A and B are shown apart, each in its own frame.
Chain A
Amino acid sequence: MLDAYAHVFTGGLPWILLGTATGIFVGSIPGLSGAMVISLALPMTYFMSGSDALLLLVSMYVGATTGGLVSATLMRMPGTEAAIMTTLDGYPMAARGEPGRALGIGVLASFIGGMLAWVILALLSPPLSVVAVRFGPYEIFAMTVVALSLIAAISRGSLLAGLMAAGLGALVSLPGIDPISGTLRLTFGFSGLDTGFALLPVLLGTLVVAQVFVDCRTPSAPPPPRGEAARVAMHIRDVTRYAWSYVRASVIGAWIGILPGVGGTTASIAAYSVEKAMAKGPERFGRGAEEGVIASEAANNAGTVGALVPLITLGIPGSVITAVLLGAMVIHNLNPGPLLFAENPGIAHTVIGGALAANLAMLLIMWLATPLLARLMYVRKAWLLPGIVIFCVIGAFSVSNRWLDVGVMLAFAALGYLMHRARIPTGPFIIAYILTPMAEQNLRSGLVVYDGSFLPLLTRPVPALFLLIALGSIIWALAGELRSRRAQRAAIQPPPGTAPGHENR
């Protein structure tokens, strides 16, 4: 463990600084997401060691979450989805002439949220991994079913849309050589599909290039008028003044972050709502309340670090970004899952240490570079889009030096665009694409171990509990879906006693 931490703070430090700075920059530009920058950086990590690659990517993840604060506060445009609640109070503070103060308490909240969640990560992960390492194939299969059901159930849009996205991701993961029997399947006689769809072209196409084409739909708008390039104003006394707000938001954020599929946006909404409910003057919220910025920023950064808990202990990604991080572990042959702590303890502790170092780097970079960021984020996105496509093409080509992978990437970009237009979430697609092979291998191994019997899935306590959770989440989502349909129908129907067309008179 000490070796891992020593590496993080010596040889790994340049990657952490680079990753955090890049993440902050990308996160501060509305429309460019953390998932995009991490997917774009994946091909570069081919030439790095596994631990350095993870340090770079985890730092980008932490940086991108924080970067959203800058544009949310100065432009009222959340750079990342998780910063949406920050706009409610950050922008009014900036508008009344306190941009430096808004950024200062936001940066401090992000730092404290990240650090408190890091304590939870560091304390919870080792014991959880000791339990997880005893899991057999059925336990792991049931766990992946829980992750898939939660992600589909909580996904944006309807449950059906989430399930279709997950189903498509699962189908796309099937072509190629079956890893258990060695049989070729679903290749349709096309030798290019013998190794299946490589991870990187699928990720780059669906997450990054598709988003570029979505951005091409709207003509490049001129950048908004420049505001004051604020210097971050942080005060130590804020730590004691708002201590309970930091703690509440961080614990809520970290806890929600640990749950698969919920994510930083929900964490910041929940923390903001709790903070408003507990505040002395709740009417101040939405008009520049400092506790509002603290709740949103502490929770979304805590959620980011919290999401690393299921990733490194169970190999379960809770969001698109952590799914990409899981993909990075697969690319670097790090065997993500319950065995990570047993087989590669150095890597697991590198990720934990990396989260700590990235938070420290974030505090430093945000403090020093925010005035510069405030200028850079006014660059027109049209200047960035062609470069992003070119990087993606090189990244897809670098998988195995063949143009076929670039074609695959473009095909998945078209699919991602269609999904965007159809309002089908891409998160369940990516996560199912990554988790389905794990689910299939463990189910089939379990069937071999238990002589072809499915019964242990219901009689063994852990798989039974996991499957119960999966069933519960589907039922919960179905009930929510029915409630919202009923509410929509009630909203369309006129109230009793009202003649049709009454409202138009």
Chain B
Amino acid sequence: MTDAPDTAPPAAPGRAAKLGFTALFAVLGLAALVAGSEIPPAVYEPVGSRAFPLALGALALGLAAAQAALLLPGLLRGRPAERDEPAAELWPAEARAAAAFALTVLWIGLVALTPLPFAPGTALYMLAMLAFLLRRCDARFLALAVPVSAGFAWGLTLLFTRVFYLSL
């Protein structure tokens, strides 16, 4: 048998997420620099509206560069970074969070962009989320979850439309 395979371990989630955050931060910093430079210079005051966007944009790029300089060598060498859960369980966990997010976006999209009223849409969303989070869809679960979801959705809708006059 040979020793451990000479392959780099997969990039750890903390480091990949940090790299993603750094990239987003750099893009926002660059956007602030570009958009800030298009703001007309001040007339009645010493610095004007463009100073903070330009300064913060430059600061963001500097900080992002420093973070990238710290992250990239480890990433290129494939050094494992700190992780808080086994790699085998990582992607299902991310997938669960992504699925919950997608379900929420779908619900908002349906009630905001289609004629689906808020109360039934919300009841369906709640029922789907409960089934997803509890991983149950049996009769006993439905006997409890359906009235809870319907009562919660219609109760809140009544409260906010009749008492607080929101146009949900």
Task: Name the distance in Å between B135's Cβ and chain A's nearest Cβ.
Answer: 6
* Cβ of B145 to closest chain A Cβ, rounded Å: 9
Query: When the two chains form their complex, are residues B93 and A218 in contact, meaning their CB atoms are under 8 A apart?
Result: yes
Most chain A Cβ neighbours within 10 Å, of B93, B133, B168:
B133
Known: A171-B56, A183-B49, A389-B104. A422 touches B134 (CB 8 A): no
Q: What interface size band does chain A fall in?
A: 35 or more
**Tally of contact residues, B, Cβ under 8 A:** 66
Scoring B residues 74 to 108 as 1 if CB is less than 8 Å from chain A, else 0, what string do you get? 00000000000000000001101101110011001
- Selected contact of B166 from candidates A170, A185, A401, A417, CB within 8 Å: A401
B139 at the interface (CB under 8 A from A): no
- Contacting residue for B130 out of A46, A47, A383, A398, CB 8 A: A383
Q: Give the shortest distance, in Å, between B50 (CB) and chain A (any CB).
A: 7
**In this complex, what residue of A is CB-closest to B39?**
A185
**Is the beta-carbon distance between B36 and A186 smaller than 8 angstroms?**
yes
Contact A164 B67 (CB under 8 A): yes
Determine, out of A110-118, A173-181, A196-204, the stretch whose residues face the partner at the interface.
A173-181
Contacts A180-B45, A216-B100, A447-B47; A390 near B126 (Cβ below 8 A): yes
User: Which of A160-176 touch B at CB < 8 Å?
Assistant: 160-161, 163-164, 167-168, 170-171, 174
Q: How far is the CA of A422 from the CA of B20 in the complex (A)?
A: 8
Give the CA-CA distance A410 to B52 in the complex, in Å. Answer: 27
User: Which residues from chain A contact B51 at a C-beta distance below 8 Å?
Assistant: 444
Instruction: State which residues 340-380 of A face B: CB under 8 Å.
Output: 380
Task: Decide if A119 is an interface residue (CB 8 Å cutoff).
Answer: no
Residues of B within 8 A of A385 (CB): 129, 133
Main secondary structure of the interface of A (DSSP, over half): helix
* A398 near B135: Cβ-Cβ < 8 Å: no
Contact of A185 among B29, B50, B64, B93 (CB under 8 A): B50
Q: If A171-B29, A394-B160, A422-B21 touch, does A382 touch B67 (CB 8 Å cutoff)?
A: no
Q: A380-B134, A444-B47 are in contact. Are A164 and B40 (CB under 8 A)?
A: no
5 smallest beta-carbon distances between A and B, as pairs: A452-B46, A421-B17, A422-B17, A382-B133, A386-B129
Q: Mark A residues whose CB is within 8 Å of B.
A: 46-47, 160-161, 163-164, 167-168, 170-171, 174, 178, 180-181, 183, 185-186, 188, 209, 212-214, 216-220, 380, 382-383, 385-387, 389-391, 393-394, 397-398, 401, 403, 406-407, 410, 413-415, 417-419, 421-424, 436, 440, 443-444, 447-448, 451-452
| Cross-chain pairs A/B with CB under 8 angstroms, 9 sampled | A163-B63, A164-B21, A171-B32, A181-B42, A213-B97, A216-B96, A386-B149, A390-B126, A423-B14
Chain B positions within 8 Å of A, measured between CB atoms, are: 13-14, 17-18, 20-22, 24-25, 28-29, 31-32, 35-36, 39-40, 42, 44-53, 56-57, 59-60, 63-64, 66-67, 70, 93-94, 96-97, 99-101, 104-105, 108, 112, 122, 125-126, 129-130, 133-135, 148-149, 152-153, 156, 160, 164, 166-168
